[in-house]
Amino acid sequence: MATAFRTSASTRDRMIAEARALFAARGFYGVSIAQIAAELGLTKQALLHHFGTKERLYGLVLEQIAEELADLKGALEPGVDPARRLQDWVVAMISDTPPRIERSRLLMREILDNPVRAESAGSWYLKPFLDELVMMLRSVPGWSEASDAQLRATVVQLLGAVNYHAVSGPTFRGIFGAEAAQAMNGIFAAQLQHMLRAVLTAGPGA
C-alpha cells in the first residue's frame, strides 16, 4: 500500500511539474489541458480525472510556489531583527537557477496575464505569502504605523525588483552579451540589499 501511494504521489508531482513548466512558458491562457496531457503522454480525460479543471491544476502550481517561498522564510536564521529577517527573505528569492527563474516567470504571469481571470477568481493562492510579507514589514521599526496601502505598495515594489531581474535574463544576454549579463547578475544581490536597507531605514514616508 505504501509503495502504491508513493508512486501515485510521484505521478501527481510529475503532472504538476509539467503543467508548471508550460504555464511558465506560455501563461494560463496560452496552454490547454490537451497540450499538458500530450506532454505527459496522457489523454485529456485522464488529466481531468486527476485535477478536474485547468483552473484547479493552475491553482496547485501556485500553491506549490507559495509553499516554496514560505520554505525560504523557514530556512532563515532565527532571532535576527525584523529588518534583517525581511531583507534576507527577499534576497533569498533571487532567481539564480532554472527552477527559480520558472517560478519568477509564473509570478509575473499571474500579474500580467490575468485580467480576465482576476474578475472571477475564487481563490488567490499567493495571498497568504503576500500577507506574511506585509506583516513582516509592519514589524520593522518605523513601519508599524504605516497604512496597509503603503505596506502593500512597498512589498510589490520589492518583489517586482526580484522577479523582473529573473525574467529579463535572456533579453539582457541578447542585448549586452552573455559576459555582461553575467556581470549584472553578480552585483544584483548586493544592489538589492542596499535598496532594501535604504527603504527599511527611510520608513513609509508621507
- Residue ranges and CATH numbers for the domains of the chain are 2-202 (1.10.357.10)
Burial pattern 139-178, b for ≥16 Cβ within 10 A else e, equals ebeebeebeeebbbebbeebbebbbebbbebeebbeeeee
Q: What average pLDDT score do residues 32-47 get? A: 92
The grid cell for 19 is 503543467
With a cut of 90, say whether residue 93 has pLDDT above it.
no
Read off the pLDDT of residues 64-86 as tens digits, 9 standing for 90 and up: 998 888 888 888 777 778 999 89
What mean pLDDT comes out for the span 145-170? 90
pLDDT, mean of residues 125-130: 86
